[in-house]
Amino acid sequence: MSGAQEPLLCALHDSSLASVLPGIMTCVHCGFCLQACPTYRVLGDENDSPRGRIRLMRAVVEGDIPLDDPAFETHIDRCLGCRACETACPSGVPYGQLLETARSAMLQHDRRLPFVAVVVLWIFARPMPLAFVLWGARVLRGTGIPGMLARFGGKLGALMAMLHATRPVLLTSPYTRRGTNARGTVTQLEGCVMKGLLAGTNAATARTLATNGFSLVDSPGQRCCGALHAHAGDLRVARALARRNIAAFEASGSELIAVNAAGCGAMLKDYGHLLHDDADWNSRAAAISAKVRDVSELLASAGPAKGAETGHELDVCYDAPCHLLHAQRIARPPLDVLASIPGLKLIPLEDADQCCGAAGIYNLLEPEASAAVLAPKLGHIARTGAKYVITGNPGCLMQIGAGLAIAGISARVIHPVDLLDASYAALERG
């Protein structure tokens, strides 16, 4: 029997979940994705695997279980959205889109998000409250109190440990070395956490791009990329934020858009799909998505230029952000960036392609599952003996950094452009 020939039973014909039935039917239940799935590995329940979740989605579309079935909500909630199942799947199941659509359908069906999620999503959609909260977080971080509270564990301790993990690792004095501007114009996504808590990395991104021949242009008026909203199923707000960003990037006239946060980069590259039903915006969204590059892609395309020894002992391991490796399929460029730093020793990290359990605000909503996913990674990092863990996403940086601090492991987490920047600063110092 061919599923493509048969009329498909579709009890939920008025739900957005029914619209992705062709994607659901792409799954042939082979199970190749199971061992790639972090929640299946730690929870051992088929319903917490990609195959199980896809079966549940199909059961909802075919009317076997209701959309507000508590078990359906539980297993969809427990998904990290890491998309490791997509790279493992031989059938090309578009799992990320299925998950977002399932969560969106649940929200449209009067499902209430947890209070924490409502508050976080409300703040991230509004520039002024977001700026105020991040300013408060910077002030608190500057007192050193988060580092002390991190030791007490619990939810507050974990939150404070995440904030503590964002303090600068290597202080680099700005340098003036410039490339030839031959690689065209590029504008940066400022980001929310990146701009508010990791502004040094944003500055390092601009300097390293300029050193490698890119000409930086401003694009004022940016908002949150909308990834947190899209992953929670709030596609209405995600689309509204996307339209603001598209307008801002268009006005800049830049040829390329550099992103140093893997989760945000995956979202921007998906704007074309997010707005595909919007006749006024779909072609504009697709045009912007086509200009988006992770910063490591841009730097690797330029070589990148060699730096000098930083004077620090650089025994490092690299942990791949899921939204870089699985969502954007970018594996080699961050390693090319690291290879241009003299004196850096890259130590292999076991299961570097496995999720760290951060997943947006998953670590706030599902703390036990998040900690269980993170635990083996902390052990693998400790066994490398590395002084620095390199990763290109703020969520991973905060999650792994917090886990290391709570576990008493001395390694610090740092973005690859910060190390490259330190290497360029050393070159100018001579």
Residue 357 near residue 351, CB atoms below 8 Å: no
Residue 363 near residue 406, CB atoms below 8 Å: no
Q: Does 207 bind ligand SF4 (CB under 6 A)?
A: no
Among 21, 38, 125, 419, binds ligand SF4 (CB under 6 A): 38
Rounded to a whole number of angstroms, the minimum distance from the CB of residue 29 to ligand SF4 is 5
Provide the mask over 337-366, with x wherever binding to ligand SF4 is found by CB under 6 A and - wherever it is not. Answer: ------------------------------
In the block, residue with structure tokens 């190749």: 32
Contacts of 112 (CB under 8 A, 6+ apart): none
Provide the mask over 88-127, with x wherever binding to ligand SF4 is found by CB under 6 A and - wherever it is not. Answer: xx-x-x-x--------------------------------
Rounded to a whole number of angstroms, the minimum distance from the CB of residue 46 to ligand SF4 is 11
In this structure, how many other beta carbons lie within 10 angstroms of the beta carbon of residue 122?
Answer: 12
The DSSP symbol for 187 reads: E
Q: Does 37 bind ligand SF4 (CB under 6 A)?
A: yes
In the numeric block, which tokens belong to residue 89? Answer: 């799947």
Provide the mask over 42-71, with x wherever binding to ligand SF4 is found by CB under 6 A and - wherever it is not. Answer: --------xx-xx-----------------
Q: Does 22 bind ligand SF4 (CB under 6 A)?
A: no
Span of 33-41, 102-110, 151-159, 221-229 interacting with ligand SF4 by CB under 6 A? 33-41
Burial category of 98 from C-beta neighbours within 10 Å (exposed 0-12, middle 13-18, buried 19 and up): buried
Among 12, 18, 33, 259, binds ligand SF4 (CB under 6 A): 33
Among 39, 212, 219, 260, binds ligand SF4 (CB under 6 A): 39
Whose Cβ is closer to ligand SF4: residue 84's or residue 149's? 84
Q: Does 29 bind ligand SF4 (CB under 6 A)?
A: yes
Whose Cβ is closer to ligand SF4: residue 29's or residue 112's? 29
Starting at the edge strand found earlier in the chain, the sheet holding 412-414 runs 345-346, 315-318, 388-390, 412-414
Span of 58-66, 80-88, 132-140, 287-295 interacting with ligand SF4 by CB under 6 A? 80-88
Contacts of 42 (CB under 8 A, 6+ apart): 369, 372, 373
Rounded to a whole number of angstroms, the minimum distance from the CB of residue 288 to ligand SF4 is 25
Residue 89 near residue 14, CB atoms below 8 Å: no
In Å, what is the CA distance from 384 to each residue of 254, 316, 339, 379? 41, 9, 18, 9
Nearest-10 crossing angle of helices 367-384, 394-407: 70
Binding site for ligand SF4 (CB under 6 A): 27-33, 36-39, 50-51, 53-54, 79-85, 88-89, 91, 93, 95
